Structure 1
């Protein structure tokens, strides 16, 4: 079972939903187009947000139900995803308070993605440091070059910033909804910034080998790029943080 919530026009906003649910004597039916459902071509069922009388509700749709089609494809990090098309597909209502439930689920997903990203960055930094201690130029290890040592110091700083914000995200999961949403957007923004910096610097410090499919760092870089866009990219969460700064006159609680 996977969550299929993304729509092209929504641009990561959870309150924008064009999917429609209708109720009849036979039960609920959904018409919707959802993009990038993770592992959607292997899932047995989908949790789908749809609007009912102007509000968002959550529904369960079985994969083998009538009116359900999926188009699967590979993602850049080697995983799978699928676009989901529903045409009057029979569905079961989960909750009419769909937006609140969806926001909580996405926040949990953000915290998990942040933790995963820290692990990927940690491994990327370790491999890069080992490579720099091994690779020689002008008869010495490139880790002895001051300019490269400074770049590695910046990479380590971004990693530790990301680690701290990942802890912060997990600690805020049980906070009141407004506080939780603010905290998770802050965390995802910092993680997105750190992921991009660490990934790019790791590739640069390796040189050409850093982008070859035969070398693990290129796959870590792809994974970090994918995670940066998962549950809202860095620009989206910067906008969320900015909007909430306006609500509090720029003062964070």
Structure 2
């Protein structure tokens, strides 16, 4: 098999990297964090690059690309610690393209592709932990539409988004709805998160909702799997930068008159970091390649990938802090922000322990050991 990237994919990576190096500096990121953790201006710049429409079909004014291009982009955005939630564009485009009625696709997909509309997944509830089949939100038929009542927590850019993808129970079955933030009965409470980005608790009180599909669990599983693949790619980008930063520090910091990078014990720890990074990179590729697989195969593959990425992100982040010493946790130093991002990504879309359970639950009786 050929795992080399195509010329178009390499050009896409280079374009995103050039934008990040020039336009999304650490100083600008700090200013965005201070202003609340989300910049509509920066989000618009992502849209101008075509990234918001990356996986939107070309029939709806998108670029019509696939999971590998999305992975390439998310690696570079992770390396630059970009706060704006492009992952949510990937999720909403995938779910709407596969599950929404044609009229809804025609209304929303072009707006997502152009950056005019930010549609985010509002799935998390306090009682469901990472379980997708547990949902207290309820929807009922109201006139010719539906009315939805729910409280969703830690919704990415929830007080800045234009609409939400909301799972809720309808006639005893999990369904998926689209609710606009401007709709009656929608209220938000925004706050900053650990990595400096923005989230919100969103309350729906008999809010008007558009039914996307009654097969809500299948749609929600796809949404989460796309999110996992994006988080894996983003984590690889962050770890790449973390390793480079750590190696540079070890070659600069001196003790007993020599660079501490010459100490064999520390070199071994950097080698272990590199090994974990490459393990994570290969599993990120695996995750993106499996997004097009049948649902059962896809779910198992994404759980495996998230386990490895979780282990790698924790190891690389912790080793980087220890090798830096005190400076590794200061807010003025970018290394601490890499560590925060890795910590948050490890918890996103299910933490390592949760996905270890998912992997275990999907094993066959022989666990693939015997024929």
TM-score normalised according to structure 1 size:
0.97
Instruction: Answer yes or no: is 1:127 the counterpart of 2:245.
Output: yes
Spell out, residue by residue over 1:93-143, the C-alpha distance to the aligned partner (whole angstroms, 9 max, x if none).
111111101111111111111001000000000010010011000111101
Determine the C-alpha separation between the residues in 1 that align with 2:144 and 2:223.
Answer: 29
Partner of 2:367: 250
Supply the distance in 1 between the matched residues of 2:161 and 2:142 (Cα, whole angstroms). 27
In the alignment, the residues of structure 2 paired with residue 73 and residue 249 of structure 1 have an alpha-carbon distance, to the nearest angstrom, of 47
Q: Deviations over 1:180-215 (max 9, x none)?
A: 000000000100000000000000000000000010
Alignment match of 1:177 (pick from 290, 295, 319): 295
1:22-75 alpha-carbon deviations (Å, 9 max, x no partner): 013252001101111100010111110001122111111111211111110000
The answer for unaligned runs of 5 or more in structure 1 is none
User: 1:88: Cα distance to partner?
Assistant: 0.9
TM-score (norm 2): 0.67
Which protein is richer in helix relative to its size?
2
For 1:166, the equivalent position in structure 2 comes to 284
Secondary structure at 1:213's aligned position in 2? Answer: coil
Q: CA deviation at 1:249?
A: 3.2
Query: What is the CA–CA distance in structure 1 between the aligned matches of 2:223 and 2:178, rounded to whole Å?
Result: 15
- Mean CA deviation greater in 200-209 or 21-30: 21-30
Q: Aligned pair 1:142/2:260, yes or no?
A: yes
Match of 1:11 in 2: 129
Q: How many residues align?
A: 252
Residue 218, structure 1, aligned to residue 309, structure 2: no
| Secondary structure, aligned partner of 1:172 | helix
Q: Give the distance between the partners of 1:248 and 1:153, measured in 2 at CA.
A: 36
Query: In proportion to residue count, which structure has more strand?
Result: 1
CA distance in 2, matches of 1:100, 1:219: 35
* Runs of 4+ off more than 6 Å: none
1:98 is matched with 216
Task: Provide the residue aligned with 2:167 in structure 1.
Answer: 49
